[in-house]
Structure 1
């Protein structure tokens, strides 16, 4: 669905929900408004697909609210969850750098609708080239995602599952967590045990055991529609001590 919209009001409405290190949060107000104004405001509901694996590159989406899941086809059939992207993130910038086809499918899986700004290829290129800092932020976004992917591949080979999960939780808490009180951080993504396992490459039973260990240690509290990280410094210390 496409609406008439005012970029100024969109920034006022949504900016508070973007993680400080996200793509959109990296643009100051004077740069952000003209950047968004290049595109079109769109909304998606649960089950809607923003981009589909194998499709030709035709632009990007700037997530204003909610979150989406990024998945790709597995050899032999089925899908595997690669990442979760939250409000403030950009979707499709990998293809924007080389013009290749989409390497993953991005789908809305939250009950909360996704508001986004869609920019076609020309609009996005114009925005990153004319808005101060735009090209640098695009580069940083791509590098950050590639670094995370590389680190997980290394972890798969050597790290105990409990520590892989701890690192993933710290990354998500740092990048997209909300702080309701004290040392606790809420990761507002409704992921199943199967999906937590996919993100670190292990079975649902194995990740269930790791979640139980971290909960027993008082570090996390898995719940309906969210993950509560009770002690981020504790998770960080666990990773530092054993990796």
Structure 2
């Protein structure tokens, strides 16, 4: 499934006389199976783009499409992982991972099997019967990632999913996750402040301006091993791409 944004702007009316425009005139398309990252300054509307894609609220102007169908509300084809883990404190970790499957009416045995598979994938085997308060912040974030993957969405939206992880676990999960979504052909949109992460995992990167966010650059990552970020990491071109991204961000800052 593909994503498309046609002339999308979003205003938040906190003051009727002075509405806040988060993003303005956003136009881009994410092809089926493509991995696109969005980078930009804090507060430039990156998360707003994901929220509109997930159908959590509507654009003020323009339209968002999932597989040529306009987004008018939450979509069963989309999995959305937020910056906060939002685990339910009264449910065990495995029950949290099962939550989306349970809501979709998946049988108990199948949802347990799928939840345990994703917990192993996210290096949480052995912690399935723990509760959120018993896990570190990074482990909770991994549990939230397992919950997103368990519903097997065709489109995955990621809002800084690896930001709370230690460096070693972050690299391992980037590599594992990159391979999983590439093999499954998932269409993925990632928000990140980590420029190297964007280069390691993406087919394309979009750079947003300061608020109101507009697309100021689009960089295609012409490197092998998108399905193996650890292999891509050692390529000398990674630093060049990261420097190019940083240059766009600094140029944008100087233009203000």
Q: TM-score range by the shorter chain?
A: under 0.3
Question: What is the TM-score with the length of structure 1 in the denominator?
Answer: 0.27
Question: What is the TM-score with the length of structure 2 in the denominator?
Answer: 0.26
Q: Structure with the greater relative contact order (CA < 8 A, sep ≥ 6): 1 or 2?
A: 2
Q: Which has the higher helix share?
A: 1
